[in-house]
């Protein structure tokens, strides 16, 4: 039996500025795929039957480094510390568990944009379908986010290299509420200064999918609420969908406008030279957009710039 | 004088950022601000800006 023997359960597209909470049972696979490419996908994950168990970037980073990929797990937070999902395919290899999710504060503080798509609010809005609050959004797994750490010790965001059709696949090892979202950062390097939809597909895993997953550890210190001195919380542990839920994502729909810029012969020459380096984009328009936003960040953005120097 | 037209695809949030900068006096228009960015970026990143024109 091969991965192609999988049974298709669901296909959907998440549009720019949005995300979607998906119930996955143990043994189901979530594929997060690029449409036109170069799009970061932020991701949250909860135990479907106890939302107090959720994905933990810190433990995952501790065990798999800054760029987890195929063969690595998404771990839950202490004291649970179980592998919730396994990464069983990754066609790019540029994932990040270093950066926190972008937030409304960040765009207001650094860019002067008080109402802006951002991963925290997108996650909160998607999770609201299951009764979760903005305080329940946790640090994200950032798929297709190309990052590194410079010799000065500061992290940086590099150009997104995911191409059309690239994907990651996550196998649910427990029942989870999986929440991917289209990263809302269109004025950062994260998604190459353009928001694009992402395609989501849910499969029933094949035997071949399971065969590639190493046996995760089962230790006494992977605790559960039965071992807690205080066993109850002030909310139901089971996540119930709100049938009255209606999405209200910020600034959606994202609408594209073509802005005409007339360049002189001299300016066209500069643009051609920059394009010839191959570092800034595939078309003159992409190069000019890259140039504009990286210049703007350097000139006006408050706080750390998160770009590679030297 | 030869001029080249470039069509930039920008969403409403990106335009808001540009318009805020124009309002702050950083450029006379969206187009002027973008051309300023190109000029200053080229000056900082090309050894001889415009050498192939």
Residue-range domain boundaries for chain B: 12-44
Report yes or no: A300 and A183 within 8 Å, Cβ to Cβ.
no
ipTM, 2 dp: 0.92
Partner-chain contact A251 B13, CB within 8 Å: yes
User: How far from A150 is each of A68, A100, A115, A141, A153, CA to CA, in Å?
Assistant: 19, 18, 31, 21, 5
With cut-offs at 50, 70 and 90, classify the pLDDT of residue A24. Answer: very high
Task: Convert the pLDDT of each residue in A134-193 to its tens digit.
Answer: 999 999 999 999 999 999 999 999 999 999 999 999 999 999 999 999 999 999 999 999
Half-sphere exposure of A43 (CA within 13 A, CB side): 32
Task: Convert the pLDDT of each residue in A261-299 to its tens digit.
Answer: 999 999 999 999 999 999 999 999 999 999 999 999 999
Query: Is A120 an 8 Å CB contact of chain B?
Result: no
Task: Convert the pLDDT of each residue in B2-41 to its tens digit.
Answer: 899 999 999 999 999 999 999 999 999 999 999 999 999 9
Whether the bond into A79 is cis, omega within 30 of 0? yes
The reported pLDDT for the residue numbered A234 is 62
User: Which residues in chain A are contacts of B12 at CB distance < 8 A?
Assistant: 251, 254-255, 257
Q: Which residues contact B33 (CB under 8 A, 6 or more apart)?
A: A292, B18, B21, B22, B26, B27
Query: Is A112 an 8 Å CB contact of chain B?
Result: yes
User: Which residues in chain A are contacts of B52 at CB distance < 8 A?
Assistant: 269, 272-273
Partner-chain contact A116 B13, CB within 8 Å: yes
What does chain A come to in residues? 310
Query: Is A195 an 8 Å CB contact of chain B?
Result: yes
Over 60: is that where the pLDDT of A97 sits? yes
How far is the C-alpha of A203 from the C-alpha of A5, rounded, in Å?
A: 10
How far is the C-alpha of A55 from the C-alpha of A214, rounded, in Å?
A: 19
User: Which residues in chain A are contacts of B42 at CB distance < 8 A?
Assistant: 270-271, 273-274, 291
With cut-offs at 50, 70 and 90, classify the pLDDT of residue A26. Answer: very high
Partner-chain contact A269 B53, CB within 8 Å: yes
Residue with tokens 């946790």: A138
The pLDDT > 70 percentage for chain A reads 95
């Amino acid at each position: 039996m091969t991965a192609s023997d999988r049974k298709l359960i669901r296909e959907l597209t998440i549009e720019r500025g949005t995300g979607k909470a998906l119930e996955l049972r143990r043994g189901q696979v979530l594929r997060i795929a690029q449409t036109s490419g170069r799009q970061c996908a932020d991701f949250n994950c909860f135990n479907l039957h106890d939302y107090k168990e959720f994905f933990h970037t810190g433990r995952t980073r501790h065990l798999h480094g800054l760029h987890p990929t195929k063969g690595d797990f998404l771990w839950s937070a202490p004291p649970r510390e179980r592998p919730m999902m396994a990464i069983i395919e990754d066609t790019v290899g540029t994932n990040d568990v270093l950066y926190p999710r972008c937030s409304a504060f960040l765009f207001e503080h650094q860019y002067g944009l008080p109402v802006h798509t951002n991963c925290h609010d997108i996650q909160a809005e998607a999770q609201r379908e299951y009764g979760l609050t903005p305080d329940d959004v946790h640090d994200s797994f950032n798929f297709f986010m190309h990052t590194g750490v410079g010799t000065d010790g500061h992290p940086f965001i590099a150009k997104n290299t995911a191409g059309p059709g690239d994907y990651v696949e996550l196998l649910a090892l427990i029942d989870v509420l999986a929440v991917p979202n289209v990263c809302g950062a269109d004025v950062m390097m994260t998604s190459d200064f353009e928001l694009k939809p992402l395609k989501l597909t849910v499969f029933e895993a094949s035997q071949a999918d399971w065969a590639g997953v190493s046996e995760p550890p089962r230790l006494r210190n992977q605790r559960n609420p039965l071992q807690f001195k205080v066993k109850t919380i002030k909310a139901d542990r089971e996540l119930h969908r709100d049938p009255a839920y209606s999405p209200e994502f910020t600034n959606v729909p994202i609408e594209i406008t073509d802005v005409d810029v007339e360049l002189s012969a001299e300016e066209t020459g500069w643009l051609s030279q920059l394009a010839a380096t191959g570092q800034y984009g595939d078309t003159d328009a992409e190069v000019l957009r890259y140039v504009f936003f990286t210049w703007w960040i350097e000139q006006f953005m408050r706080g750390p710039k998160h770009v590679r120097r030297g | 004088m030869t001029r080249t037209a470039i069509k930039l695809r920008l969403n409403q949030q990106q335009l808001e950022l540009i318009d805020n900068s124009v309002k702050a006096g950083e450029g006379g228009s969206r187009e002027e601000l973008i051309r300023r960015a190109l000029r200053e970026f080229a000056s900082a990143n090309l050894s001889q800006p415009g050498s192939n024109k």
